[in-house]
Chain A
Amino acid sequence: MAAVLPSAGKQSQVSAQRKSRTGYFLLLPGMTWLAIFFAIPFVTLFMTSLQAPVAGKSGQYVPAFQVSNYPDALAEYWPQFLRSFLYAGIATGLALLIAYPLAYFIAFKVGRWRALMLVLVIAPSFASFLLRTYAWKTILSDEGFITSFFNALHLLPDDRILNTSIAVVAGLTYNFLPFMILPLYAALEKIDPRLLEASNDLYASAFTTFRKITWPLSLPGVVAGTLLTFIPAAGDYINSELLGSTQDRMIGNVIQTNFIEFRDYPTASALSFVLMAVILVMVFTYIRRAGTEDLV
């Protein structure tokens, strides 16, 4: 997804492209690695999702064609599935609201400080993901400033934030925010500022300019950012585990515990496969709009 990283123009392409065996030689090692350790595992995952248990031996399975694993797994875990998409959806919406002003500011208002601002956006990722999530335990704690503030306004249904769904969604929003800011910035940066000036000269209000010019032209970034925020958020289980209660478990928690703790490989594989299928539908819808050349 070229939209992810702000890149310069594409001047050197096409004209300089050669056709020779060297191209295939350059591709071979890396693509082989991805084929063996990314693509083929999905085949094994699919086969594992159809395995049947060995009677009397827990954690052992034989190759089979037990399609019923899928409806069984979904019947048991559909609430976690729905919750994942709900939490990830809310977090993505919030991230869009928070990211847009910052991305717009960096793209149009900071001049030569752009590079530094982008560094500041990426910098939080240099500190451990787990510790940053854990830090929200401190920030949102029951005695903390934020909880007291909202409690004074009687806005919290459970009189607390930590160990509720609010904390999980807040954590997800925070953690994946850079994935929203960067593609938004990349799309906004490509807009010719003269378009905005022209709109202003024609007496369009700031709001009309935004609605008719800025927003439509930034849509590729909005779509890319939404995809890049929603997908990892829907699969995440760290925020739910560290910030939520057992009522807030998401599909990632279920896959992890079934795979690693219960050793119920078929159920965990079936759930992973369904999650991946949903995401592939989203990705292919995106590709139909954008084509594959701008993906990477």
Chain B
Amino acid sequence: MRWIKSKLLGVIAVLVLIYLFIPIAVVGTLSFNKPEGKYNTSWNQFSLDAWTNICGVPGVCDSFMISVRIGIISTIFATILGTMIAFALVRYRFRGRATTNLLIFLPMTTPEVVMGASLLALFLNLRFPLGETTIIIAHIMFTISFVVVTVKARLQGMDPRLEEAARDLYAGPRATFRYVTFPLVAPGIAGAALLGFSLSFDDFIISFFNAGTVVTFPIYIWGAAQRGIPVQVNALATLVFVVALLIVLTSQFVSYRKRKALEAGMHSDSAIVGADVKGLEAAMPRS
């Protein structure tokens, strides 16, 4: 009884985690299915058809590539704009701070259907043609806030003594930024970009409003849901899931190793601290 009581919380926690992954297990399992009718919702027979012929159904890979392209372009823009804002918020004093915070916060709490509808109202009133451009505009808009939050957290968590040390060593503001600040914030920026891409790649509602005739991967799935989703879609989604998970786990593992090495006292290795000390040395004026 005591044992059950002490382990109860852990058991519940593990059950919740399993619950989070059940639908993914279903998506993955059904990617190896040979459905009986046109709806791939119940198990029928094992088959590798979808995996060996992943672009076999017209439209699947086209829409996939469109989503990848839109994701990359909007991520690049949103990451640059959002990182600039994060630096301003943490490092500078300026007027209109409350309004700025609010304008960054609201896109994260506005229902997608409202953002999609209001943006479509704007484009319709301006008679702006709908297509890939309008999707990218929308994606940059709703991704910026998430980039700001992620990069800002990294900037705030940074040890200020590292930059002070560089300044004490007579590094100018530019050298300090290039060789100390930026390398230290870079993992945060990379994380923000990854988050931005996954938000853009998976967005359905806002894209659907502003897509015109363009068919992104989620829009393809939405359309196919009525007439039966091809097994290839499950295969592609499983692939995306596995790749994304591997990227995140690898980066977690690398930062874990770095932390361990730091604790072991290898402070002098610049790659481990995160700052580019060799670059800084090379950039310093010789006295």
Contact = CB atoms under 8 A, between A and B. Distances in A.
Contacts of A174: 19-20, 23
A30 B42 CA distance: 46
Given A7-B156, A39-B103, A268-B117, A141 B42 contact: yes
Q: Is the interface of B mostly helix, strand, loop or mixed?
A: helix
Contact of A34 (B20, B104, B218, B238): B104
A218 interface: no
A16 B88 CA distance: 12
Contact of A104 (B9, B30, B158): B9
A126 B149 contact: no
Interface residues of A, number: 103
Contacts of B150: 5
Interface residues of B, number: 98
Given A119-B248, A136-B23, A255-B113, 16 more contacts: A4-B149, A8-B153, A8-B157, A15-B160, A23-B91, A26-B88, A27-B88, A31-B100, A38-B110, A45-B114, A124-B20, A126-B241, A139-B23, A178-B20, A232-B111, A296-B104
Interface of A: 1-2, 4-5, 7-13, 15-20, 22-24, 26-27, 29-31, 33-35, 37-42, 44-45, 47-48, 98-99, 101-102, 104-106, 109, 115-117, 119-139, 141, 143, 174, 177-178, 227-228, 231-232, 234-238, 242, 252, 255-256, 259-260, 265, 268-269, 272, 275-276, 279, 283, 287, 292-293, 295-296
Interface of B: 9-10, 12-13, 16-17, 19-24, 26-27, 30, 41-42, 81-82, 84-85, 87-94, 97-98, 100-115, 117-122, 124-125, 137-138, 140-142, 144-145, 148-150, 152-153, 155-160, 163, 198, 202, 204-205, 208-209, 217-218, 221-222, 225, 229, 233-234, 237-238, 240-241, 244-245, 248-249, 252, 256
